[in-house]
Every structure is written in structure tokens, then in C-alpha cells.
Amino acid sequence: MPDAALHPSEGLSAPVIDVDPYSDAALDAPGAMHAAVRAAGPVVFLSRNGVHAMGRHRDIMPVLKDWETFSSTGGSGLADIRKPGAWRAPSPIVEVDPPQHTHVRTVLQRILSPAVIRQWREDFEKEAERLVAELVEKGAFCGVHDLAETYVSTTFPEALGLANSPERRDNLFLLGALNFDGQGPKNARFEETQRKADAIWDWYLDSMKREAMVPGGFGEKIFQAADRGEIDQETAPLLVRSFLRGGLDTTSSMISAALWYLAMDPSQWALLREDPSRIRPALDEAMRLETPIQNVCRQTTREVVIDGVTVPNDSKILVMLGAANRDPDQWERPDAFDVTRQTMGHLALGTGVHMCIGQMIARLEGEAVLKAMVAQVKTLALAGSPTRTLNNNLRSLKTLPLVVTAA
Amino acid sequence: MPRVTFLDPRGRPATIDAAAGVSLMLAAVRAQVPGVLGECGGSLACATCHVYVDPAFAAGLPPVSPAEDEMLDATASERRATSRLSCQIVLTDALDGLVVTVPDAQI
């Protein structure tokens, strides 16, 4: 797909900048690092990581839509998964391009169609109402552990149909941490997560097998699609793997971020209580500001000029979704949480053919939680300072002390 | 600049002047037409920009792609012969005067 931003002529080479997106400081508060990337040019070269990077919204949008020039087959993270030493089985949905991608995406989109997800609404809302009632009774609780993570780790694995076990919750969050740490450099943070994950490796391998799927979940439907020959037999467990690794932390991060911003600003909470149809836009606004998956990678399939800067063929580009989502050239008051904002064009879920396939599940989970909160909670406030979990690519809160009064 | 009329489920009209070249969904969202959500931004992942197109304009519309056809099977309100996802209709001057009806529900 050609685009005005991509000219087949010579451009300048990308400015080299010395920022470290993976330092504790940048992961804790990435705003300054993002601003430096945006200011330096449409594409920069990160000397420490040896990759190109982009942070401007207007340049990123066409890149994500042009899968032919900016391929996903090199892997979603910094490492080129096709190279010797780094090789691993690519995700059959995230790390392939059309036409193979179109085929698998179509099968999966049918299994996870909005019509299917709508049928879960009653169960999801009932669970949210039950959990929120319990927490309102307590009065003070942690928005991450007690609400967002408890809710997501109950509803999502049930929808997938992953058999329950005492270790299921902790193991799934550990797999999420590993997945997203693994998209960054092989630093000490990744090594430590990998060490912890080694201890649950057998559980992980077993959990993507057909035998782990409870009848009625969408995991079983993925295996049934393989039985019908719609996808390869070996593709089915790899698709389940993608959901095991990417389905929990992201949604939980969105929910806890929404709770945090609402707890910080009573006027925004009032707007939500006044008109609950603002709940879904509020979730988009939380996704924009938090951008749970901070970066995605693409790899050039030819030499390409982006806004006057040449990127050589076969270059990995770190696409900074979090930087684009607060780009002042795109957003008025980019750092303000505003549930009345038109958030269309935020890139927290990506865009184009690889846009998040689980987004309707995430939206349903988030909506159920906030709907229950709006119905049962009158005042919502912070009871202390939140803390962050530092992960190479997943931005999320670790703790969020909240205090509420009943409606 | 094509003019488009959106009828709400009870038939009450809202008319907007849209820019040619943008999708009907984007035009509706920008003008804050109630009932057109477009949550996925046009990536064919949500089916929340469903509309019923006045049959008089059917001939001027782009054909339904296989991916749109799949998503039209998953809309919250019933699929009819006139159902389209408004993100797949790029407005042109030839579509000036277009009339579409917004369904009861999108989610």
C-alpha cells in the first residue's frame, strides 16, 4: 500500500540518539524519552539497542497499515526471530503477514466474533457485580490485585476454557511478564523473569495442548477448526499460546489505569456516573494514556524513505505506540485524561491487519468492571500512591490503593 | 463535499456535511452521530459501525469484501440486505445525498 509519506528517493540517514527505553527510569516514566525520540526525527537510530525507532503519530500510522514494506515476520520484539540463535516458532497470527495471516485471522476472527463475545456479557457482568460488591463492602482495596487482576484472571481463562488450578492465576501473569519482557533486550530484567518462568515450563507447555481445554471455551474451538482443516494441526496450540501470553496483563493494565485516572479526578468520575455510555470511551482514553503494550516491532522489506529519512532494507524498527499516543501534534492536552475526548486513532491496540484481535473481549471486561463500579460506588479516591511493575514492554501498575464509598 | 443523512432507529434525521475521501464511519464519529461507534477505527475487528443504507444508493457503493461479509454476520442488530459497515464506505461526491439508518444497538 503506497503512501504519501514514503517516497522512493534518497533521504537522510536516521539521527543517532543515545536514549535507553529499557532503563528503570524510562520504564517508570517514559515521557521524556518519548519526547526525545519524537523531537529527533520521524525515524531515529537507537545506538544502545542498534535499532531504528519511531515516535511520531503521523509517521507511525502509515507504517502500521503497510504490512508489505513493514513486515511482522521478523518478530514482535527487538530480536529478529528468523536469525540463527534467536530462532523460535513465530506466533501464527502476530508474526506472519498476508496471505497466511489473512487466512488464520479469518478463522480466529470467526471464533472470536463480536456475536460470540456478546454471549459472554451476562456472565462477565455478573462476576463484575459480585466482585465489586465484595470490595465496596471492604471500603479500601487494591485496584490492581483485588480488582483488575482478580477479575481478568477469573473471566478470561474461563472464556478460553483453560482448566482451573490453584496456580493458574500466578502462572498466567508470569507468562505475560515473560512474553513482554522477551520483546525487549535480553537484559537482567528478562533473565530474571525467564528464570522464574523456567519453573513453570511444563505447566506452560501442557496448557496450550488440546487436553487442557475445557469444553465450550474458545480454545476448544481453535482445535476444532484444525480438525476441520481450516488451520494446520500444529497452528492450533500456537494460537492458544498467543492468548495465554497476551490476554491477561494487557486487559488488567487497561482496567487498573482507568481506575487510577478516575480516582485522581472526581470530575471525570462524575461524568462517568452521569452517563455510563461514556464507559467504553473512557477505556479507550485509559488505553491511550497507559498504552499497555508500549512498542511493537516491524522489519523493512526494502529500503524505504520515511518523511525524508532513509531506512535500509531489513532494518528492525521499534514502533513506539506509547509515544504516538501522547504526541502533542496529534492530541490536544496529550497528558490529560478526558472521557469526552474523541480517541479514535489511538494506537494502543495497533491498527491495520494486525490490530488486537482480543480487543472486543478486553472492552467487554473493562466495561463490565466500570459498569459495576458506577452502579455501586459513589466516591472513588486514591488511598495512597500507586506503584509500577517495570517490564520491558508492558506498562502496568503493580499496586493501586483505592478507597470507595457505596452508592 | 457530500452531504449525508443519518436516520436514528425512530427515523429522526441528522444531516452532516462530510469530506470526500473519508469513510462514512469516520465522518459520523467526527460529527458525533449517536449510534455509530467505530471502536476499532476501521480495521474490521468490531462491527460497531453498522448501518442500513437506503436502497436507492446501493448501486453507488463499493462491493462487500469477504472480510466485511464475515463481520456483518456478527452485528449486534439484525443483518439485512441493506446492511453495511460504514468504515468500508469511502465518501465521494457521487454519494452526495446518501441516506443511512443507524441500528438499535452496536454492542
The predicted-structure confidence for A119-156, as pLDDT tens digits, reads as follows 999 999 999 999 999 999 999 999 999 999 999 999 99
- pTM given for the model: 0.95
Nearest to B70 among A110, A356, A360 (CB): A110
Contact A114 B47 (CB under 8 A): yes
Confidence bin at A246 (pLDDT 50/70/90): confident
Nearest to A344 among B38, B74, B75 (CB): B38
Closest chain B CA to residue A121: B107
B51: which strand partners?
B84
What one-character DSSP code corresponds to residue A167?
T
Residue type, A169: R
SS3 percent helix, strand, coil of chain A, rounded to 5, is 50, 15, 35
Contact B45 A280 (CB under 8 A): no
CA atoms of B52 and A83, how far apart (whole Å): 50
The helix (H) or strand (E) run that includes residue B99 is: strand B98-101
- pLDDT higher than threshold 70 for residue A296: yes
% of chain A surpassing 90 pLDDT: 93
Question: What are the pLDDT digits (tens) for A65-109?
Answer: 999 999 999 999 999 998 877 777 889 999 999 999 999 999 999
The helix (H) or strand (E) run that includes residue B52 is: strand B50-53
Q: How far off is chain B from A281, nearest CA to CA, in Å?
A: 9
Q: Does B71 touch chain A (CB under 8 A)?
A: yes
Nearest to B41 among A280, A345, A363 (CB): A345
What is the torsion angle, in degrees rounded to the nearest 10, for the CA atoms of residue A274, residue A278, residue A279 and residue A280?
Answer: 170
pLDDT of residue A9: 53
Contact B41 A344 (CB under 8 A): yes
Integer angstrom CA distances of residue A184 from A48, A128, A259, A297 = 12, 34, 27, 10
What ipTM is given for this predicted complex?
0.92
Residue type, B62: P
Nearest to A113 among B30, B43, B74 (CB): B74
Question: What are the pLDDT digits (tens) for A165-208?
Answer: 999 999 999 999 999 999 999 999 999 999 999 999 999 999 99
CA atoms of A154 and A135, how far apart (whole Å): 16
Contact A356 B75 (CB under 8 A): no
Contact B37 A118 (CB under 8 A): no
Q: Does B78 touch chain A (CB under 8 A)?
A: no
What are chain B's domains? 3-101 (3.10.20.30)
How do strand B98-101 and strand A377-382 relate by DSSP bridges? Answer: unpaired
To the nearest 10 degrees (0 to 180), the angle between helices A150-160 and A249-264 is: 150
Q: Does B48 touch chain A (CB under 8 A)?
A: yes
Give me A217's grid cell.
471455551
Contact A360 B76 (CB under 8 A): no
Give me A24's grid cell.
528503570
Question: What are the pLDDT digits (tens) for A18-59?
Answer: 999 999 999 999 999 999 999 999 999 999 999 999 999 999
Integer angstrom CA distances of residue B61 from A47, A232, A381, B35, B87 = 50, 36, 50, 21, 12
Is A217 in a helix, a strand, or coil? Answer: coil
- Write the DSSP string, A89-155: PPPTTTS--TTHHHHHHHHHHHHT-HHHHHTTHHHHHHHHHHHHHHHHHHSEEEIIIIIIIHHHHHH
Q: Does B22 touch chain A (CB under 8 A)?
A: no
Q: Which of A245, A283, A249 is nearest to A360 (CA)?
A: A283
Integer angstrom CA distances of residue A86 from A90, A182, A214, A234, A362 = 11, 11, 33, 21, 31
Residue type, A295: N
Question: What are the pLDDT digits (tens) for B45-87?
Answer: 999 999 999 999 988 999 999 999 999 999 999 999 999 999 9
Span A372-386, average pLDDT: 98
- List all residues of chain A from 98 to 117 with a beta carbon under 8 Å from chain B: 106, 109-110, 113-116
